[in-house]
Amino acid sequence: MTASAEPIRVLLVEDSEVYRDSLVFLLGARADVDVVAAVGDGASAVRAADEHGPDVVVLDYRLPDVDGATVATELTTPVVFLSASAGRDEYDAASSAGAALVRKDEGIDALVVAIRAAAGR
């Protein structure tokens, strides 16, 4: 990140509170990422995206109320999907949405690379 570049504003959507809080902490340690909101379900994701205007939405593919692909269709923001068990359906949905998919076991660096790519940086 250059000294004049603004951090990438990220909305994090993850239903596991422990995992969500961990990602907020880990992403917050990056100078070029600013988590502007973190929510746990699809309905909250759409409202938070409207309210906070993030540059990128990091979206758990499997949410308690709806799948991530459905939420992604309601967003105008670039999306990075997260999935604990990414199968063909998840990869196809990500591809159809023009989104990256990061498996949760890939680590924070893979997620940050995907966030930067989604933001065009």
Lookup result for tokens 């951090």:
7
The C-alpha atoms of residue 12 and residue 33 are separated, in whole angstroms, by: 11
- In tens, the pLDDT along 82-118 reads 988 777 777 777 777 788 889 989 989 999 999 999 9
Q: Determine the Cα–Cα distance for residues 10 and 24; give it in Å rounded to an integer.
A: 10
* Angle, helices 108-118/17-28, rounded to nearest 10 degrees: 70
Tokens 């999907």 locate to 81
How far is residue 54's CA from residue 22's CA, in Å, rounded to a whole number? 19
What domains, with CATH codes, occur in the chain?
A: 8-118 (3.40.50.2300)
CB 39 within 8 A of CB 58: no
User: What is d(CA 14, CA 61) in angstroms, rounded to the nearest whole number?
Assistant: 9
* pLDDT greater than 60 at residue 3: no
* 47-81 pLDDT tens trace: 999 999 999 999 998 888 888 888 888 889 999 99
